[in-house]
Structure 1
Amino acid sequence: MRANHALIAADLGFRAFAERNPPRYARYAEARLDRPAGVTAVVRATLSFSRRHWDWLLSRPSLAADVWEQLRFQVSRHSDCLPPRDADVAALYGGLPMTSADSVLLCRRLGLGVAEAAELMGVDSPAVEAGLGAARRALPHLAEGRRP
């Protein structure tokens, strides 16, 4: 009986996760990819990975960080085909570490707050703030970006 309750709780947890995150994942993927079909495929593949590995993800120190890594992987798989539409986004990812580039994209381009970006990426807020600071020093003309 106890195992059944655990399965139900895990399933409910995944459903809540799958309901909350796809719109934010899609906005991120859309900003990084060149075509809408790729966005749908990236989000679908990321959620499929998450569902298949949900029990394992629950045992990890940061489920959100592991899923974010999968989202990055899926974006890179789909972006190998064609260059991104936005040259500034390409410059961010070509000139900064991933956390810094993601921090700029999420906070400065997509308008998320530092806390929401950190939660989405599965890192602490100071990591996002440090990423933004590194971006301001390395690529000041891109680090402030534009707000939606």
Structure 2
Amino acid sequence: MAVTTLLPTFALHLLSTPTHHQRPAASATLEAFTQFHHDRYLRYARARLDDPAAAATAVAETFTDLSVVWKEILSSPSPAALAWRILRHAVERRPRASDGEPAGPAFTAEQADAMLLHGHLDMPVAEAADVMGIDDSLLRVRLASAQRLLCARSRESGAAT
């Protein structure tokens, strides 16, 4: 699969912009990927962590880790999905904010991320799916299954009172 099919249209523009020196394709695609995802990754990390500095460190660590294995990531079916897992791992190694994740039943990590991006950070489904490196339909499934857990929990709470 060509590298150009892996990047959003606006990122392709960054790759075609003339520069004063020629950059290797891998570093140019990583730079475009970083520019496209950095702010959204940082919003996610800040929502999950108590410390803004820890969030920034987790995101910086993510892009450093990506730079080490970028050529391999580009050859994967979904570079964004692999990058998302690296980010989640970097965030999970740090203390979490108590209000950074939905309360209630034990969500899977994927459900919690979907709820956080779409519900808490107000990202549209398409944007949240893009950040996570998954299809919109899969994100909708994760949101719906999390919602079912919340409804079941609510019914159990109502029956107990």
TM range (shorter): 0.7 to 0.9
Q: Which residue, out of 60, 65, 78, partners 2:94?
A: 78
Q: Which residue, out of 34, 39, 44, partners 1:18?
A: 34
Could you say what the CA RMSD is over the residues aligned between the two structures, in angstroms? 2.2
How far, CA to CA, are the matches of 1:125 and 1:98 in structure 2?
A: 17
Q: 1:87-118: per-residue Cα shift (whole Å, max 9, x none)? A: x61636x7111111111110111111111111
Aligned residues: 132
1:124-139 counterparts in 2 under 5 A? 124-139=135-150
How far, CA to CA, are the matches of 1:41 and 1:138 in structure 2?
A: 33
Q: 1:22-73: per-residue Cα shift (whole Å, max 9, x none)? A: 1100100111111111101100110001111110101111100101001110
TM-score (norm. length: structure 2): 0.75
Aligned to 2:10: none
SS in 2 for 1:21: helix
Q: Does 1:41 align with 2:53?
A: no
Amino-acid identity (%): 37
SS in 1 for 2:110: helix
| Contact 1:32–1:89 (Cα < 8 Å) also in 2 | yes
Distance 1:133 1:90, change over 3 A: closer
Aligned to 2:79: 63
Aligned to 1:3: none
Unpaired stretches in structure 1, ≥5 consecutive residues: 1-6, 143-148
Distance 1:31 1:140, change over 3 A: farther
Which structure has greater helix proportion?
A: 1
Q: Does 1:98 align with 2:98?
A: no
Unpaired stretches in structure 2, ≥5 consecutive residues: 1-22, 154-161
